[in-house]
Amino acid sequence: MILITGGRGAIATELLALLHADGLPLRVGSARPADLAPPPGVETVALDLTDPATFPVALAGVTSVFLYASAERVTDFAEQAQRAGVAHVVVLSSSSVLGLLGSEPEDDALAASHLAVERALLDSPIETTLLRPGAFASNATAWAWPVRSGNPIPLPFPGAHTDPVHEKDVAEAARAVLTDPRLRGGRFTLTGPESLTFAEQIDRLGAVTGLAIAYEHITPEQWKKEMAEHIPAAYADALLAWWRSTDGRPVALTRDVEELTGHPARPFTAWAADHIADFTAP
């Protein structure tokens, strides 16, 4: 049986549909299982990855796990997964960890959290596969409210490059490494097909939606203040530092999505078309 954690998330939802279509036995976990609406025959379970008391029931009878964990109790999760007989864990990590693996690691709270999860699983006897996406295309949903309200999108670094990857591509990559034993234990960096600035993403979003979308260049301090209720200060600082480092500098791309899924990574315009209702619905 495969356990999918973070069951209400976009990637978990896509992965669940793919594996269910494959006819595989599945269980999906969430801190709020009542909010889940899985396909018929799929088990749901209460699983709070910050509460080890929820781990044993969720892991009973499980052989593989798709894991998107916080660092807080990941060692407990790894230990209980081993005791439950889990043989393989696919960790949804982040390409940001690569900056901490180099010769000059940076102080990055987001990357450090992902790296702690990776290390906890790699230090366990469980075979571990790492998926390291770059920037999720779905980060653009943060722009939905200003777009719908006709306001400019506040950007501290409109010229910063990212590599937006579609959640469907991440889910298909996860499906591949969960179902093909030859891919187990791999480390895969997942990117979109293009390095795009935020300004370019907004232009493409406007072209797909048919809307005139503007942005406002604000200071990093203004952005951090506006995001204070939504993003912890340490994480906001990490994001600002990353955007500053890629301002005017394209980011490196990989072909790992294509190698795992058999097709090129979907462009940002495909993501925008799939999510057009987020930006146009009243």
Claim to verify: residue 120 and residue 199 sit in the same structural domain: no
Same domain, 129 and 10: yes
Cα separation, 197 vs 199, whole angstroms: 5
Residue 125 lies in a domain: yes
Residue 212 sits in a domain of what CATH number? Answer: 3.40.50.720
| 16 three-class SS | helix
Domain hosting residue 223, numbered range: 135-166+192-251+267-282
**Is residue 19 domain-shared with residue 34, that is, in the same domain?**
yes
pLDDT of residue 103: 42
Tell me whether residue 102 is in a domain: yes
- Residues 148, 281 within the same domain: yes
Q: What is the pLDDT of residue 100?
A: 67
pLDDT for position 105: 44
What integer pLDDT is reported at residue 101 of this predicted model?
64
| Residues whose CB is less than 8 angstroms from the CB of residue 44 and which lie 6 or more positions away in sequence, other chains included | 7, 27, 28, 29, 30, 33, 36, 38
Question: Are 104 and 139 contained in the same domain?
Answer: no
pLDDT of amino acid 124: 96
Q: What is the pLDDT of residues 202-255, one digit of tens each?
A: 999 999 999 999 999 999 999 999 898 888 898 899 899 999 999 999 999 999
Other Cβ atoms closer than 10 A to 180 = 11
Q: What local confidence, expressed as pLDDT, does residue 235 receive?
A: 86
Residues 107, 143 share a domain: no
What is the tens place of the pLDDT at every residue in 154-172?
Answer: 999 999 999 999 999 999 9
By DSSP bridging, strand 196-197 and strand 161-162 are antiparallel
One domain, residues 94 and 197: no
Both 151 and 83 in one domain: the answer is no
Phi, psi of 244, deg, nearest 5: -65, -40
Residue 231 lies in a domain: yes
pLDDT of residue 104: 43
Local confidence band at 13 (pLDDT 50, 70, 90 cut-offs): very high
Domain boundary, last residue among 83, 110, 133: 133
One domain for residues 14 and 129: yes
Residue 194 is predicted with a pLDDT of: 97
Q: What is the pLDDT of residue 215?
A: 96
Q: Tell me the per-residue pLDDT of 71-114, one tens digit each, with 9 for 90 and over.
A: 889 999 999 999 999 999 999 999 988 876 654 445 677 888 89
How far CA 217 is from CA of 130, 155, 206, in Å, comes to 36, 5, 18
Number of domains in the chain: 2
Closest CA to 172 of 106, 257, 248, 90: 257
Contacts of 181 (CB under 8 A, 6+ apart): none
Clarify whether residues 8 and 122 are in a common domain.
yes
Is 124 found in the same domain as 11?
A: yes
Q: What does pLDDT average to over the chain?
A: 94
- 157 with 23, same domain? no
